[in-house]
Amino acid sequence: MNKKQNSKQKIQKLAENDARPERAIQPTELLNDTLRRIFGCELADATQKQVYRALCISVRELLTEKNRVFGNRCTEKERKEVYYMSMEFLVGTSLRNNLFNLGLEAEFRKALADAGFDIDEIYAIDPDAGLGNGGLGRLASCYMDAATGMDYPMTGFSIRYEFGIFKQKIVDGWQMEFPDNWLEMGDVWLQAREDDAVEVKFGGEVREWMDNDRFKVAQVGYSSVMAVPYDMYISGYDSDAANRLVLWSAKLPQSFDMAAFSRGDYVRALERNAMAETISKVLYPADDHIQGKRLRLKQQYLLVSASLQSILKKHYKKYRTYTNLPEKVAIHINDTHPALCVPELMRLLIDEHDFGWDEAWDITCRTLSYTNHTVMSEALERWNVDLFREQLPRVYSICQEINRRLIEHLCAVYPNDWGKINYMAVIANNEVRMANLCLAACHKVNGVSKLHTDILRNGIFRDYCQITPERFLNVTNGIAYRRWLCQSDPLLTDYLKQLIGGDFLRDARALEKLLPYQNDEKVLADLMAIKRKNKERLAALIENQNGVRVDPDSIFDIQIKRLHEYKRQLLNILHVLYLYRQIKANPHGDFMPRTFIFAAKASAGYIRAKQIISLIVAASKLINNDPDVNDKLKVVFLEDYKVSLAEIIIPAADISEQISIAGKEASGTGNMKLMINGAVTIGTLDGANVEIHEQVGDENIFLFGMKAHEVEELWQRGYHPTEFITPELQAVLDMLTSGVLGQRFDDLVDSLLTNRFGTADPYMTLADFQDYARAQRDVAAVYQDKQRFARMSLINIAKAGIFSSDRAVKEYADEIWNLD
Ligand code: HBZ
């Protein structure tokens, strides 16, 4: 028997006795075994990279086995399964998370230390799988983790981008993008299943004919791409389950016979190959607007068609019928990016499995559900009809029929109301509208915070909601707090375990057991000491990366998120300059020292966002090098924001900046991560800030700015930004145009004051400025009273349990997916 079989059998044997094979694991033995098999060495003579790979492979094999046992059990019990379709999963690193979830962290730490390896150095080798842009992609990963921890059978489907979100570097104050070759090391987590590759058809035309009195339709003259699945196993905290994230990679169908090609054809064949493979080459880095690019449509169809084919195949193998699909399968559409699920499921049922339209439509609607993540009209996906028809002719003809029937129905519901009917149509004005496609079909549609769902119900989706209000519901976002608190802040976690017991590791609501300590001076001091340690850790990172020394006793005020005008990083940096002027005017005044920390990627073509990054970097240069202010004010822009960097920044935050213009941030999830780590929010009543406020009350949050309805009212009345400019604010704007920042930011100022680029100050930065400055003064005043601030921090931690992704996933399971 060879070594490989030997080790496999060992794991299998363990698994038969116990669904949690890891309980009987001997870390050193397991690592040595894997090292021998893969590298022909043992711990004693292995390199750090070999140990990394061997550790990952060992963990992956444990999870593979867990997944097999769990899958079999689900099949036996005929459990309903959920498939989460998302163009993005922002996984981050996997190794530490898996060891933590499996309960093996401490044992492996020790075993490695005994062999002379530092597990933290090994973790540092694990690359971020950055297969997403921001909140939407990270949410998908948090939900996979939570579902697995709660033993729900959930499979994620996405694309195996060769290059994830770009690496950001700031060169001469300007963001530059560099490719992120994560597979170089990250491939260790992926297991290819070449035999399960699926054909996906692009282009060609639709042919219709009669076959023995049956009307038949097919796509002919198409070109094929093969989608090859790669499995990434997902662990859940202390759970019997392991689930899979299936990532599709595109390749040409048949590997060609090189000898048969003349030289010219050989090159052309390779070109064709490269064309096919570009489909899964790179993640689109825009999270703010649609580009309508052919390649993006192809990515979306690759994901949808390959996933649905594999779901249907598995389902038929189990049940020998498709009619019970909605009872046994829930397919979730994460934003409109996989909205092609609607026509593609129809196509598969009708063209490939002989269903009539009505029955196929009934199955499709009852199987699919959809989450909306934005109300920004420029982000609502629409496809040009010609492009869509050229690439997906049969899918297009199905969309036409969906649209024809929809309009027929709407004419009955809203007779002669052509404005409304046009607004609700799936195809109109030469475009296919993906949100309307989801609204027309899905049996459930949800927003991601209470306010956002209200805006969907009464705003952009009002007309659909009027007809079928029962389909619309809210599921406020949640976070995988075992990553965002337990793993990223081990000091706080260990302290909490001692103080209130470990129940919160299973149920985040148990964090409320902290509340009785809110007036306990010792506990408050301990919490501040832990915060101080985390601030020291971040300060070291800042010194290392930016060469800037920051004071861990200053207020760490943190804004970390994608760079967007609506998120108003500009408001933050204008206020920093306003503070700077105050200090300059009164250098010996009493001023609470502060460090403002930013991290943000801008999508590559978003010039205004890049200008804002430049402004932050320019302001940091001016301020950090000015001896007048030095110890009182520091500004830091950290490059290359990503999951693993967030894990270091968040535990060090005193203040969490959530300052979007009210009505625009669907939910936010960074707000929750910062809260559970004891940061106090300064924010508008937008997205889930509303619910954070509900949890902690007026006393434990710094609210400012217009409410969503006030924003609307001001637009109605007419917004004139200049009316909100005080002399102090004018002086700040003058800094941007005077050159004192080393360069001039005339465009940014123009965008606030003039109509040259469209509406002046479209995100009402100036209108909210004074109240923001007032709230920031409150922050400084409260922080002077260390105990009072510590109490606010404690209450934020204690009340954050509701924002666990366990709660969110349970709501999806109960109210949308109907899982048992
Ligand atoms: O989804 C975000 C919302 O802005 C945020 O408020 C919410 O908390 C989060 C989770 O619900 N939306 C995104 O992150 N959106 C994208 O990343 C995106 C990516 C590609 C696109 C469009 C949007 O084509």
Span from the CA of 732 to the centroid of ligand 1 (angstroms): 32
CA angle 532, 536, 540 (to 5 degrees): 170
Token representation of residue 749? 């100022």
Give the distance from CA 605 to its chain's centroid. 20
* Residue 574 pLDDT exceeds 70: yes
pLDDT score for 273: 78
pLDDT score for 530: 98
Ligand 1 site, residue 448, Cβ cutoff 6 A? yes
pLDDT score for 17: 45
pLDDT score for 275: 83
Residue of 136, 289, 299, 642 to mutate, ligand 1, most atoms within 8 A of C-beta: 136
2 or 586: which leads in pLDDT: 586
- Kindly state the average pLDDT of the residues 238-254: 95
pLDDT score for 657: 99
Residue nearest to atom 8 of ligand 1 (CA): 668
Q: Provide the Cα torsion 138, 141, 146, 148; round to 10°.
A: 180
Q: What is the sign of the dihedral through the CA atoms of 663, 666, 668 and 672? A: positive
Spatial distance between the Cα atoms of 175 and 166, rounded to a whole number of angstroms: 11
Ligand 1 site, residue 455, Cβ cutoff 6 A? no
Ligand 1 site, residue 379, Cβ cutoff 6 A? yes
Spatial distance between the Cα atoms of 268 and 511, rounded to a whole number of angstroms: 62
Is 562 one of the catalytic residues?
yes
Q: Provide the Cα torsion 302, 305, 307, 311; round to 10°.
A: -170
Per residue in 73-95, pLDDT tens?
A: 999 999 999 999 999 999 999 99
Span from the CA of 764 to the centroid of ligand 1 (angstroms): 21
The C-alpha R_g of the chain, in whole angstroms, comes to 27
Element holding 217 (H helix, E strand): strand 214-220
pLDDT score for 274: 80
The DSSP line for 690-744 is HHHHHHH-GGGSEE-S--HHHHHHHHHH---GGGG--HHHHHHHHHHHHSTTSS-
Burial of 573 (0-12, 13-18, 19+ CB in 10 A): buried
Per residue in 10-45, pLDDT tens?
A: 545 444 444 566 667 899 999 999 999 999 999 999
Spatial distance between the Cα atoms of 136 and 374, rounded to a whole number of angstroms: 10
User: Catalytic: which of 562, 594, 610, 799?
Assistant: 562
Per residue in 720-768, pLDDT tens?
A: 999 999 999 999 999 999 999 999 999 999 999 999 888 999 999 999 9
Q: Which long-range contacts (CB under 8 A, 24 or more apart) does 610-613 make?
A: 610/174, 610/175, 610/563, 611/745, 611/747, 611/748, 612/563, 612/565, 612/569, 612/570, 612/573, 612/748, 613/170, 613/174, 613/175, 613/563, 613/637
443, 815 Cβ separation under 8 angstroms: no
Ligand 1 site, residue 601, Cβ cutoff 6 A? no
* Residue 769 pLDDT exceeds 70: yes
User: Catalytic: which of 244, 564, 567, 664?
Assistant: 567
Nearest C-alpha neighbor of 234 from the set 297, 121, 146: 146
pLDDT band at 4 (very low <50, low <70, confident <90, very high): very low
Give the ligand 1 atom nearest the CA of 132: 17
Spatial distance between the Cα atoms of 744 and 742, rounded to a whole number of angstroms: 7
Residue nearest to atom 5 of ligand 1 (CA): 668
Ligand 1 site, residue 287, Cβ cutoff 6 A? yes
Percentage of the chain exceeding pLDDT 70: 96
Ligand 1 site, residue 136, Cβ cutoff 6 A? yes
332, 371 Cβ separation under 8 angstroms: yes
416, 323 Cβ separation under 8 angstroms: no
Is 506 one of the catalytic residues?
no
Span from the CA of 667 to the centroid of ligand 1 (angstroms): 9
User: Catalytic: which of 93, 476, 669, 765?
Assistant: 669
Structural domains of the chain in order of their starting residue, each with its CATH number: 1-77+94-125 (no CATH), 78-93+128-476+811-817 (3.40.50.2000), 528-799 (3.40.50.2000)
pLDDT score for 3: 44
Per residue in 257-310, pLDDT tens?
A: 455 556 667 777 777 778 889 999 999 998 777 776 999 999 999 999 999 999
Token representation of residue 366? 């009852």
3-state secondary structure of 321: coil
User: Catalytic: which of 561, 568, 601, 664?
Assistant: 561
Ligand 1 site, residue 667, Cβ cutoff 6 A? yes
Per residue in 419-458, pLDDT tens?
A: 999 999 999 999 999 999 999 999 999 999 999 999 999 9
* Residue 224 pLDDT exceeds 50: yes
Is 561 one of the catalytic residues?
yes
Is 669 one of the catalytic residues?
yes
Per residue in 363-417, pLDDT tens?
A: 999 999 999 999 998 888 999 999 999 999 999 999 999 999 999 999 999 999 9
Burial of 122 (0-12, 13-18, 19+ CB in 10 A): buried
* Residue 313 pLDDT exceeds 80: yes
Look up tokens 């094979």; give the residue: 21
Per-chain mean pLDDT for the chain: 95
Ligand 1 site, residue 477, Cβ cutoff 6 A? yes
Residue of 372, 374, 601 to mutate, ligand 1, most atoms within 8 A of C-beta: 374
Span from the CA of 101 to the centroid of ligand 1 (angstroms): 27
pLDDT score for 631: 87
Per residue in 86-142, pLDDT tens?
A: 999 999 999 999 999 999 999 999 999 999 999 999 999 999 999 999 999 999 999
Spatial distance between the Cα atoms of 532 and 536, rounded to a whole number of angstroms: 6
pLDDT score for 14: 46
741, 622 Cβ separation under 8 angstroms: yes
ipTM confidence: 0.99
User: Catalytic: which of 457, 673, 791, 799?
Assistant: 673
Per residue in 515-571, pLDDT tens?
A: 999 999 999 999 999 999 999 999 999 999 999 999 999 999 999 999 999 999 999
DSSP state of 127: P
Residue nearest to atom 13 of ligand 1 (CA): 136
316-348 residues labelled b (16+ CB within 10 A) or e (exposed): eeeeeebeebbeebbbbbbbbbbbbbbbbbbbb
Give the Å distances, CA to CA, from 399 to 90, 214, 353, 404, 461. Answer: 31, 21, 18, 9, 20
| Phi-psi category of residue 190: left, alpha or beta, with phi > 0 → left and psi -120 to 50 → alpha | beta
Spatial distance between the Cα atoms of 207 and 526, rounded to a whole number of angstroms: 73
Beta strand pairing call for 214-220 and 427-428: unpaired
Ligand 1 site, residue 139, Cβ cutoff 6 A? yes
What would the 3-class secondary structure string for 240-269 be?
CCEEEEEEEEEECCCCCCHHHCCHHHHHHH
Give the Å distances, CA to CA, from 577 to 569, 584, 597, 609, 734. Answer: 13, 10, 14, 18, 11
Residue nearest to atom 19 of ligand 1 (CA): 287
Ligand 1 site, residue 671, Cβ cutoff 6 A? no
Nearest C-alpha neighbor of 477 from the set 807, 148, 701, 234: 807
pLDDT score for 239: 97
Ligand 1 site, residue 297, Cβ cutoff 6 A? no
Element holding 167 (H helix, E strand): strand 167-171
3-state secondary structure of 173: coil
Percentage of the chain exceeding pLDDT 90: 91
Ligand 1 site, residue 686, Cβ cutoff 6 A? no
